[in-house]
A = this chain, B = another copy of it.
Amino acid sequence: MKVISDADVRATLLAGAAVRVSRDALVDAYRGTLKAPPRTGIDVGSTELVFTVGGNASGTVGFRCYGLWPGHADQLVAVWDNKGSLRGVVVGTALGALRTGALGGAAVDALAKHDASVCAVIGSGTQSWAQLWAACSVRTFSEVRVSSPTPANRAKFAARARDELGLNAIDLADSVEAVRDADVVLVATKSARPVLPATAFAPGCHVNTIGPKLRGASELPPELASVAAIVASDSPAQAAAYGNPFFTGRKLAHLGGIIDGDLPGRISEGQITLFCSTGLAGTDVLLADHVMNELDLAG
User: Are B46 and A42 within 8 A (Cβ)?
Assistant: no
Give 5 new A-B contacts, CB below 8 A, not counting A1-B74, A35-B44, A73-B80: A40-B51, A49-B55, A69-B84, A70-B84, A72-B84
Neighbouring B residues of A43 by C-beta, 8 Å: 35, 37
Neighbouring B residues of A3 by C-beta, 8 Å: 1, 3
Within 8 A of B (CB), among A2-54: 3, 33-35, 37, 40, 42-47, 49, 51, 53-54
User: Are B80 and A86 within 8 A (Cβ)?
Assistant: no
Give the number of times this chain occurs in the complex, counting copies.
Answer: 2
Known: A73-B80, A73-B83, A85-B74. A51 touches B42 (CB 8 A): yes
Neighbouring B residues of A246 by C-beta, 8 Å: none
Q: Does A67 contact B (CB under 8 A)?
A: yes
User: Are B82 and A46 within 8 A (Cβ)?
Assistant: yes
User: Are B91 and A86 within 8 A (Cβ)?
Assistant: yes
- Chain B residue at minimal CB-CB distance from A39: B42
- Bound together, the chains give a CA A62 to CA B51 distance in angstroms of 12
Q: How far is the CB of A85 from chain B (nearest CB, A)?
A: 6
Q: How far is the CB of A5 from chain B (nearest CB, A)?
A: 8
User: Are B44 and A55 within 8 A (Cβ)?
Assistant: yes
Encoded as 1 (CB less than 8 Å from any B CB) or 0, chain A from 190 to 202 comes to 0000000000000
